[in-house]
Structure 1
Amino acid sequence: MIVGLTGGIGSGKTTIANMFHELGVSIYIADVEAKKLMNASKEIKEELMAAFGAKTYVDGELNRSYLSNIVFNQPEKLQQINAIVHPRVGQHFKDWYAARSKETYIIKEAAILFENGSYQQCDKIITVVAPLETRFQRLLKRDQTTREAIQSRMDNQWTDAKKIALSDYVIHNEDLEKAKEQVAKIHQEISLLRSKI
C-alpha cells in the first residue's frame, strides 16, 4: 500500500515523515531522491545543461542557486525542469517500492504530490497543514531567505484547502506532541485497514 504524504512548504512534512519512520514505516522522500538523481544521472545532467546552459553544474555538482534564480519568476522554467526530472524520479520510486511491496504500507513524501499528478498512484493521502505565519517563521529560520521568496514558492503550490479536499487524513502540525498523537492514530488506522485486505 502506498500512502502519499504532502503539504505546503514549511508545513513540516519531513518532521511528520520522521515520526512515521520511528514507527517502522519505510519513507521515500521525493525531493531528496530527485536531488540525488540530478547529481548522479548522466541523462538528467545532459538534458538540464542543454536546457539551461553549462553553468547548471559546477565541478559535476548541481548549481542549485543558479537554477533557483532562473525559475524564481518563471514558472514555465520550473515546469521544464520537472518534465526532465520527475519521470526519472517516478521510475526510481517504482523500483524502490517493488523491493518493499511486502511491507504493511510505505510513505511517499512529496511537496508537489498533487501538482505533478503522482497522488493518483497512492492508496491513501495525508496532507500536513500548519498556520501560515508558523510556516513563514520556520522557512525564514531554515532557509535564511525572504518573505517574498517564500511567498513566490507558496504561489507555485496548491492551496491547503484544495489538497485537503482530495486527502484521506489531515495532520495539524503546530504542536509536536499533538502531531505525534495524530501520526500514531493514522498509523494504527492504516495498519488495521491493511490487515483486512
Structure 2
Amino acid sequence: MLKIGITGGIGTGKTIVTRIFALLGVPVYDSDARAKWVMHHDAILRQELIAAYGPDAFTAQGDLNRPYLASIVFNNPERLAALNAIVHPRVRADFEVWTALHTNKPYILKEAALMYESDAWKQMDEIITVFAPMEVRMKRLQQRDAHRSEEEIKAIIEKQLSEDEKMKRAQHIIYNDEQTLLIPQVLELHTYFISKV
C-alpha cells in the first residue's frame, strides 16, 4: 500500500482535491481534523497540554480552548514550535493506527497543510502539492473566511512554507488555478498510483 501525502498552502483547494480522491474510494486522512480529534480524545496529549499551558488549555466543558492556545502561540515561533512538538508525535501515532485499518487499499492519502513543517512527509512514499496563484487563493479565502482580515490571511500564508518550495519538493503537482480542469488531473494520478502497487 502506498502512502501519498497531499499538501498546499491555505486557499489552494486541497479539500476539493481530496474529496475527488475520496469519491474514487481512496481513504483520506485529514490531518487538521484528526489533530483536533486527538487533542480532545488522547488522554496523554491532554495531560501534556495542561502541563505545558495550564488548565485554561481546555474549557470547563472539556473542549480544547483553541482561542486561548492561539493567543499564546500565534506570534511566538518558539511557543508554536513547542506546541507542535507536543501535538505532532501524537498525530503521527494516530495516523499509523488509521493506516493499519486500510491495508486492503492500493493507496491512501494524508492531507496536511504543514506536510514539510511537521516532518509528515517522511512517512509518505510520494507527495502531491496543490497549487493556486496567490490572487486566486486570496479571493477564495476572503469568501470562505470572511471573519479574517486580509492582513490576517497574509500572516497565515507567510507562516507556511512557500509554494515554490512545496512544488520543488513534490513528485506531483495539481493545478487548481480555475483554468485547468481538476478531475482529469486527479484521475491521471489515481491511475498512476494504482499501477504502482
What is the TM-score of this pair, normalised by structure 1? Answer: 0.93
1:48 aligned residue: 49
| Whole-angstrom CA distance in 1 between matches of 2:71 and 2:175 | 32
1:187 aligned residue: 190
| Whole-angstrom CA distance in 2 between matches of 1:160 and 1:82 | 21
| Whole-angstrom CA distance in 2 between matches of 1:165 and 1:154 | 18
Q: Report deviation, 1:64.
A: 1.1
| Whole-angstrom CA distance in 2 between matches of 1:177 and 1:104 | 27
Q: Deviations over 1:121-164 (max 9, x none)?
A: 21111000111122122222222211221222112211111111
% identity of equivalent residues: 40
Counterpart code for 2:153:
I
DSSP-derived class of the 1:128 partner? strand
Distance 1:85 1:121, change over 3 A: same
Q: Report deviation, 1:53.
A: 2.4
| Whole-angstrom CA distance in 1 between matches of 2:57 and 2:114 | 23
Within 5 Å, give how 1:128-139 maps onto structure 2.
128-139=130-141
For this pair of structures, how many residues does the alignment match? 194
| Whole-angstrom CA distance in 2 between matches of 1:138 and 1:70 | 28
Q: Report deviation, 1:90.
A: 0.5
| Whole-angstrom CA distance in 1 between matches of 2:47 and 2:101 | 29
| Whole-angstrom CA distance in 1 between matches of 2:176 and 2:191 | 18
Segments of 5+ residues of structure 2 without an aligned counterpart are none
Distance 1:176 1:109, change over 3 A: farther
> Cα RMSD (Å) of the superposition?
1.5
Counterpart code for 1:91:
A
Q: Report deviation, 1:52.
A: 1.9
1:68 maps to 2:65: no
Segments of 5+ residues of structure 1 without an aligned counterpart are none
1:117 aligned residue: 119
Counterpart code for 2:30:
I
1:146 maps to 2:149: yes
Q: Report deviation, 1:19.
A: 0.6
Q: Deviations over 1:32-55 (max 9, x none)?
A: 100001111222222212222222
Within 5 Å, give how 1:10-21 maps onto structure 2.
10-21=11-22
Q: Report deviation, 1:62.
A: 0.8
What is the TM-score of this pair, normalised by structure 2? Answer: 0.93
DSSP-derived class of the 1:62 partner? coil
| Whole-angstrom CA distance in 2 between matches of 1:120 and 1:57 | 31
Distance 1:18 1:147, change over 3 A: same
Q: Deviations over 1:74-126 (max 9, x none)?
A: 12111111111110110111111112122110001111111111212211110
Maintained 8 Å contact 1:5/1:13 = yes
Within 5 Å, give how 1:83-98 maps onto structure 2.
83-98=85-100
| Whole-angstrom CA distance in 2 between matches of 1:18 and 1:53 | 37
